[in-house]
Structure 1
Amino acid sequence: MKKQHIAAAACLVAGAIGFAAVYSTQKIGKEEVPTEISQTANIVEPTETEKPKPVETEKEQPSEQETKQEPVAEETVLHFDPQGITNWPIKGDVLLPFSMEKTIYFPTLDQYQYNRGMVIRAEEGADVSAVAKGKIIDVYDSAETGHTVVQDLGDGYTAIYGQLKDLNYDEGDTIEAGDVIGSVSATSKYFTVEGNNVYFAMEQDGKPINPMEYFGNI
């Protein structure tokens, strides 16, 4: 019986020794051969190169001239006032009156015809004044009335001044009653017999009207 116990104990000891030997071999193997995890752990991945940040340039500020806006001039609204006609364009005898109801005789032309305006005697170089406040809307040359200015008086009324020179104002200017528009020029060939004069006419919506209806009290 003792012999059996001894033999069993010997087997247990032998088995323990064998297990220890195997465990030691596996441990050494692990130390000598690096595992896949240890290999990848030692690999240093390249870091992403940091891109340089764009340099913000200072925005160019608009110049004072660019930011400063020119004030918009308000358009003057004209209204014709018959009482606003305070003067003739020039004082002088009426050589040829307004006449749209019947023809009158024109000495230089030696014929009868209608007259859309007035022909007023004047000396060359004398001042010609605006009869009312208004805006100059046209300046042109005519064979009949010479250098001519058209003035908008408002509400469809216009004044026309002919036989002028040395104008003081341009198209687009607004002038007051009594302002000197220019001076009397030498007469055109249509009035050589009548002599130097100022041609003056008024219209309402393009139709001639008699200036004497407004000059009667001045």
Structure 2
Amino acid sequence: MKDFFSKKGTIWALSLCLMGGLAFAGYYSVNQLEQKREEQENKIIDLNQEETQGIDTAQKETEKEAVDVADQKVDYELEKESETQTEKETENAKDVASQNADAHIQPTLDFQENDVLIWPAAGEILLDYSMNGTIYFPTLNQYKYNPALVIGQEVNAPVVASAEGIVKSIGISEETGTTVTMDIGNSYELIYGQLKELAIQEGDFVEQGEIIGYVSEPTKYYCVEGSNLYFQMKKDGEPVDPVLYLEGE
């Protein structure tokens, strides 16, 4: 009987040991499976993170490339706009320079002693040129030297340039009214007085025969003589006889 219990106890002990071993083995297996599962999950998380980082990097690179392309396009457009603006400014500068050059280019005035003047107005000479002696001025009722021709002509009659020239000055004189002085070259000047409604202005180049204005009412110095053109010629600032240069004389 004692041997029976002894054997039975041994069997129970062995059974318990076996069950304990199985339980431990089961626990160990489960633990291993849990670790493997966690490792797999961590790998999946790492892969997802790497994939996400890769996508983010690719997106950033794509965005950077897009920005670079946009910047290059803007730079190109700005460069083209700058070139176009520069070309326009260059063309405008050329046009202005050309206009200024044209404005300053004028024919050379070269009136010579043997050249001929055309008559500035058709009419009777009321008072002749006279610097060698005095002549009678009816309105003034006195004798005096006369440095010009006083040519009778109706009011509103046209007056033309006797020679080509440049309008040197336009002024108003108490004696000769509106008066135009023209440079005709080589220190020769022509002076037209008793004018109105001028067709020219200072600095203008005037062709021979071109209308410069019209005969005005006479000033108080020529009331008796009547409406007329005051016509004077100078050389080196001194009066000369226009008749010596007028055609037909």
What TM-score do the two structures reach when normalised by structure 2? 0.61
Matches for 1:102-113 after TM superposition, within 5 Å: 102-113=133-144
CA–CA distance in 2 between the matches of 1:85 and 1:91? 16
Residue 217 of structure 1 and its aligned partner are, at CA, apart by 2.3
**1:146 aligns with one of 151, 165, 177:** 177
Contact 2:234-2:240 at 8 Å conserved across structures:
yes
Residue 81 of structure 1 and its aligned partner are, at CA, apart by 3.4
1:24 is matched with none
CA–CA distance in 2 between the matches of 1:165 and 1:115? 23
Q: Which moved more, 1:71-80 or 1:149-158?
A: 71-80
Matches for 1:70-149 after TM superposition, within 5 Å: 70=96, 71=98, 72-73=101-102, 74-82=105-113, 84-149=115-180
Amino acid across the alignment from 1:173: D
Shift in alpha-carbon separation, 1:113–1:86, aligned structure 2, 3 A: closer
1:160 is matched with 191
Q: Structure 2: where are the runs of 5+ without partners?
A: 1-71
CA–CA distance in 2 between the matches of 1:83 and 1:181? 24
Q: What is the percent sequence identity of the aligned residues?
A: 42
Secondary structure at the aligned position of 1:62 is classed as helix
Q: When you count helix as a share of all residues, which structure comes out higher?
A: 2
CA–CA distance in 1 between the matches of 2:158 and 2:184? 20
CA–CA distance in 1 between the matches of 2:106 and 2:124? 38
Residue 84 of structure 1 and its aligned partner are, at CA, apart by 4.5
Structure number with the bigger relative contact order (C-alpha 8 A, sep ≥ 6) is 1
Residue 176 of structure 1 and its aligned partner are, at CA, apart by 1.3
CA–CA distance in 2 between the matches of 1:65 and 1:168? 36
2:23 is matched with none
Shift in alpha-carbon separation, 1:204–1:86, aligned structure 2, 3 A: closer
CA–CA distance in 1 between the matches of 2:119 and 2:133? 24
Quick check: 1:62 aligned with 2:86? Answer: yes
Secondary structure at the aligned position of 1:167 is classed as coil
Residue 86 of structure 1 and its aligned partner are, at CA, apart by 4.5
Amino acid across the alignment from 1:149: V
Alpha-carbon deviations, 1:130-174, whole Å to 9, x = none?
111111111010000001111111000000000011111111111
Alpha-carbon deviations, 1:7-44, whole Å to 9, x = none?
xxxxxxxxxxxxxxxxxxxxxxxxxxxxxxxxxxxxxx
Secondary structure at the aligned position of 1:64 is classed as helix
Q: Which moved more, 1:85-94 or 1:73-82?
A: 73-82
Contact 2:109-2:184 at 8 Å conserved across structures:
yes
1:28 is matched with none
Contact 1:84-1:177 at 8 Å conserved across structures:
no
Alpha-carbon deviations, 1:31-60, whole Å to 9, x = none?
xxxxxxxxxxxxxxxxxxxxxxxx976473
Contact 1:145-1:162 at 8 Å conserved across structures:
yes
Shift in alpha-carbon separation, 1:217–1:83, aligned structure 2, 3 A: farther
